[in-house]
Amino acid sequence: MKNLVLDVNVLLDLWLQRVPEKVLFFIAELIAKGENKNYWTWVSSSSLSTLEYIARRELKKGGMEGEQAKQATHALIADLLANVRLLTQFGFQQVMALQLSNDVEDAQIVMAASNLQGSTAIVTNEKRFQTGGEVAQLSLLEVNTWLRQDENRSVEFIDLKTQQDAIRPQLEHNIHRVLAHGQYIMGPEVQELEEVLAGYVGVKHCIAASSGTDTLLIALMALGIGSGDEVITTPFTFIATGEMIALAGAKPVFVDIDPLTYNIDPNLIEAAISSRTKAIMPVSLYGQCADFDAINLIAEKYNLPVIEDGAQSFGARYKGRRSCGLSTIGSTSFFPSKPLGCYGDGGALFTNDDALAKAMREIRVHGQDRRYHHPRIGINGRMDTIQAAVLLAKMKVFEEEVTARARIGARYSEFLRDVAVTPYIAPENRSVYAQYTVQVENRDEVQQRLKEFGVPTAAHYPVPLHLQLAFSCFGSSDGSCPVSEAASNKVMSLPMHPFLTEETMSTVVRSWREAII
């Protein structure tokens, strides 16, 4: 997405009708909120007082009474602010603003515009800004052409920059609220986030924590899993899943995956259950939920709890219900690249079980039930308040992003169906496409060629857990999970994020077609 920052004179032209009618409509069109726009419209907060002074002065000159002119100007500014995004002036940038230009207000606009991540232009009747080339400046006549030009940005594997521009005003508001109240760990935003997330998932309890790795450990500890126990899980996942089982003192028992969904194959679980089995921990990989009805049925039969590792699937649906609300405990990660990611590490646990929720809350804070009273052993698993503040801002647009991810995933598959093994999404699932992962035979070569074309890729994951050296003590061997082993040699994830444009997708697909030859 591109950014247009409107200069004072353009807004005055609109309010004071100083341009022909069609130009008035053009300016109004730039400001008015609308769908399918490929840009966001901003006004620098440093422009507001200038706008107010000039508009009031001109209205008074035109015969409007003083108080009426004041109120009318305020109403105009209020209406403007309801439609555009307001660019922040940071105190720490003002010295640089002074050095940049003789005109402090102009420099402030440039500095504020430079804070935006996407391509940015100041729309003005006078190209007087000293932008240093970082920010473009356009007359109204040039806007359409500039908006049509390609952004000429490199293909991003995950585009967090565009997302930041999309939520910047809310983000700044939330972060500054934390800076002001100073409760940096487990502050009020954490509780607010827990309420929002529990409501979103549709469960009674949400426990926000320090990471999506710690949440797995907390869940295992709350279930009392430890030395001598076994936990059934998938080998085709990030290390944290098996690692936390081992760290809790238990043995990860790896069960192979379904070749279509890459999730644990429920048909193989029962054979892996022993008298030492204490839980089943499926992973909802790449953003698609595992087959929870089948898994829960087996768990019920053997009276086992199920922990969903939904680190990649927050926002996904399984038979209409949301990931993390499908089993005894749901766990997710807010690592920055996740569908819902914060600006550091973060995670959350979900359950309808009151006793488990209480245990997990205590374990999160060193096993504490009240200050300095520790009925159980816990960990330092608290969430930083700033991460909660970031997530609250992101939750406001999350469902839109989930919809965009689903649309983009489906579109990719249309493009690639004839030249790649595209993701299979089971009919009962809505994937959030945390990764858009295809299969290719000669992965290393294709990855290298795509890199040369400027298309970043990743292999999730090149070595299944049962073949990792760290797990060799558990005695798994090559060939014990053949589907995972085969997949780990072929899977490749392509750029995926909710802001992927048709043009960028076309670039990726064109590069793919050339790379596989």
Asked if 497 and 159 count as a contact pair (C-beta separation under 8 A), the reply is: yes
By C-beta, is 68 or 380 nearer to other proteins? Answer: 68
Q: Minimum CB separation from other proteins for residue 103, in Å?
A: 10
Q: Does residue number 127 form part of the binding site for other proteins (CB under 8 A)?
A: yes
SS3 366: coil
Q: Where are the alpha helices (DSSP H) in 182-258?
A: 188-201, 214-222, 239-247
At 204, the amino acid letter reads K
Distance, CA of 218 to CA of 428 (rounded, Å):
30
Q: Does residue number 129 form part of the binding site for other proteins (CB under 8 A)?
A: yes
State the number of binding residues for other proteins (CB under 8 A).
Answer: 49
By C-beta, is 22 or 371 nearer to other proteins? Answer: 22
Q: Minimum CB separation from other proteins for residue 166, in Å?
A: 19
Interface residue with other proteins, options 57, 176, 276, 417 (CB under 8 A) = 57
Distance, CA of 360 to CA of 59 (rounded, Å):
62
By C-beta, is 127 or 176 nearer to other proteins? Answer: 127
CA dihedral 216, 220, 222, 228 (to 10 degrees): -160
Q: Does residue number 29 form part of the binding site for other proteins (CB under 8 A)?
A: yes
By C-beta, is 13 or 353 nearer to other proteins? Answer: 13
Bridge-based pairing of strands 436-439 and 491-494 is: antiparallel
Distance, CA of 82 to CA of 127 (rounded, Å):
27
Q: Minimum CB separation from other proteins for residue 34, in Å?
A: 5
By C-beta, is 109 or 257 nearer to other proteins? Answer: 109
339: left (phi over 0), alpha (psi -120 to 50) or beta: alpha
Q: Does residue number 58 form part of the binding site for other proteins (CB under 8 A)?
A: yes
Rounded to 10°, the helix 188-201/385-416 angle is 30
By C-beta, is 19 or 486 nearer to other proteins? Answer: 19
By C-beta, is 27 or 244 nearer to other proteins? Answer: 27
Binding mask 130-169 for other proteins (x = CB under 8 A): ------xx-xxx--x-------------------------
Q: How far is CA 153 from CA 6, 454, 499, in A?
A: 23, 10, 13
Q: Does residue number 83 form part of the binding site for other proteins (CB under 8 A)?
A: yes
Q: In terms of Cα–Cα distance, which of 229, 232, 253 is closest to 476?
A: 253
By C-beta, is 30 or 112 nearer to other proteins? Answer: 30
Q: Does residue number 56 form part of the binding site for other proteins (CB under 8 A)?
A: yes
Q: In terms of Cα–Cα distance, which of 248, 341, 323 is closest to 285?
A: 323
Q: In terms of Cα–Cα distance, which of 241, 188, 206, 219 is closest to 378?
A: 219
Contact window for other proteins (CB under 8 A) among 57-65, 169-177, 188-196, 269-277 = 57-65
Q: Does residue number 26 form part of the binding site for other proteins (CB under 8 A)?
A: yes
Q: Minimum CB separation from other proteins for residue 65, in Å?
A: 10
Site residues, other proteins (CB under 8 A): 8-9, 12-20, 22-26, 28-29, 31-34, 50, 53-54, 56-59, 61-64, 72, 75-76, 79, 83, 125-129, 136-137, 139-141, 144
